[in-house]
Amino acid sequence: MAAQDENWRRCNKCQGLFYTGNPTFGTCPTGGGHDYSGSANYSLTYNDPSQPQQPPYVPSPPAGQGLPSYGQPPYGVAPVSDPIAPQEPRKKGRRWLKIIIMVLVLFSAVASAFSFINSVLHDPVPGVVNQYYTAIKNQDYTTAYGYLAPGIKAITGGEFITLSVFTQEAQDTDTAQGKVRNYSIENSMRPINGSGSYTATVIVSVTRNGAPYDVNLNLQQIGGEDWKITRYDRL
Ligand SMILES: [Zn+2]
């Protein structure tokens, strides 16, 4: 049996319909009480069998059993989220996180590969050895001596190689075996390890009067700056 319930008015602040039969005007979401000035007096019809009825509330069964909840939950019951649709944005979020992490990993891999290639392409060690042997070839022993590490010692005897010791050795070698006519770097190795290595070994093929011979050089990056020759077995 249908019935009427009047005294419902529209709040001109929140546009909500509220009951004005009470002494106060409730709480408007926009702040303060509702304000129905200018509103008509609405009558609401209820219990009208000719009007479509709201479906009864059906709570969600345990996961995987039957249909999810539908209908309006009774007052005081928290609405149950749809087990399928509302989770989609969360999945999307995780996917974005995965993509971002993958991009970061890829970027760091590319960056370290680039830095490795860069260090190989722009390895300063062969340049230092080239300048060292160019100076020796030009009998510019003072310049050549500048590429030796400070405090370098002779491998036989162990005495300090001073500029005069080095110059004497170089001149003696020139006299005995002829001046350097040609040289080429046969091999330049820098052991690769995780913490970064600051030593290098270089083999130089040197030609004086006779057949070419190998010179073994050890180098070290002194104080994180210039590479210096810390050991040579011949000139
Ligand atoms: Zn209001």
Segment 101-133, tens digit of pLDDT: 999 999 999 988 887 777 666 788 889 999 999
What is the whole-number distance in angstroms between the Cα of residue 101 and the centre of ligand 1?
47
Task: Report if residue 3 sits inside a domain.
Answer: yes
Report yes or no: 6 and 42 within 8 Å, Cβ to Cβ.
Answer: yes
User: Is residue 101 domain-shared with residue 161, that is, in the same domain?
Assistant: no
Pairwise CA distance, residues 173 & 180, whole Å: 9
Q: Is the pTM of this model over 0.85?
A: no
Q: What's the structural domain count of the chain?
A: 3
- Per the structure, the complete domain to which residue 223 belongs is given by 124-232
User: Is residue 107 domain-shared with residue 94, that is, in the same domain?
Assistant: yes
Task: Report if residue 99 sits inside a domain.
Answer: yes
Average pLDDT score over residue span 196-222? 89
pLDDT at 46 over 90: no
What is the whole-number distance in angstroms between the Cα of residue 17 and the centre of ligand 1?
8
Q: What is the structure's pLDDT at 82?
A: 55
Percent above pLDDT 70 for the chain: 82
What is the whole-number distance in angstroms between the Cα of residue 34 and the centre of ligand 1?
4
User: Is residue 62 domain-shared with residue 17, that is, in the same domain?
Assistant: yes
What is the whole-number distance in angstroms between the Cα of residue 42 and the centre of ligand 1?
15
Q: What is the structure's pLDDT at 181?
A: 96
Q: What is the structure's pLDDT at 64?
A: 64
What is the whole-number distance in angstroms between the Cα of residue 27 and the centre of ligand 1?
7
Task: Report if residue 83 sits inside a domain.
Answer: no
- Count the alpha carbons within 13 Å of 160 in the hemisphere toward its beta carbon: 6
What is the whole-number distance in angstroms between the Cα of residue 45 and the centre of ligand 1?
22
Report yes or no: 211 and 223 within 8 Å, Cβ to Cβ.
Answer: no
Most confident range, picked from 55-69, 76-90, 154-168: 154-168
Q: In the structure, what pLDDT confidence band is assigned to residue 41 with cuts at 50, 70 and 90?
A: very high
What is the whole-number distance in angstroms between the Cα of residue 70 and the centre of ligand 1?
29
What is the whole-number distance in angstroms between the Cα of residue 66 and the centre of ligand 1?
40
Task: Report if residue 195 sits inside a domain.
Answer: yes
From the CB of residue 206, how many other CB atoms can be counted at a distance below 10 Å? 21
User: Is residue 228 domain-shared with residue 128, that is, in the same domain?
Assistant: yes
Task: Report if residue 11 sits inside a domain.
Answer: yes
Pairwise CA distance, residues 202 & 132, whole Å: 12
Burial of 116 (0-12, 13-18, 19+ CB in 10 A): exposed
Q: What is the structure's pLDDT at 38?
A: 92
What is the whole-number distance in angstroms between the Cα of residue 39 and the centre of ligand 1?
12
What is the whole-number distance in angstroms between the Cα of residue 15 and the centre of ligand 1?
6
What is the whole-number distance in angstroms between the Cα of residue 20 and the centre of ligand 1?
12
- Residues with Cβ within 8 Å of residue 51, at least 6 apart in sequence: 45
Pairwise CA distance, residues 143 & 160, whole Å: 18
Q: What is the structure's pLDDT at 83?
A: 55
What is the whole-number distance in angstroms between the Cα of residue 108 and the centre of ligand 1?
55
Pairwise CA distance, residues 196 & 165, whole Å: 34
Pairwise CA distance, residues 219 & 199, whole Å: 6
Task: Report if residue 20 sits inside a domain.
Answer: yes
What is the whole-number distance in angstroms between the Cα of residue 72 and the centre of ligand 1?
23
Q: What CATH number is attached to the domain comprising 149? A: 3.10.450.50
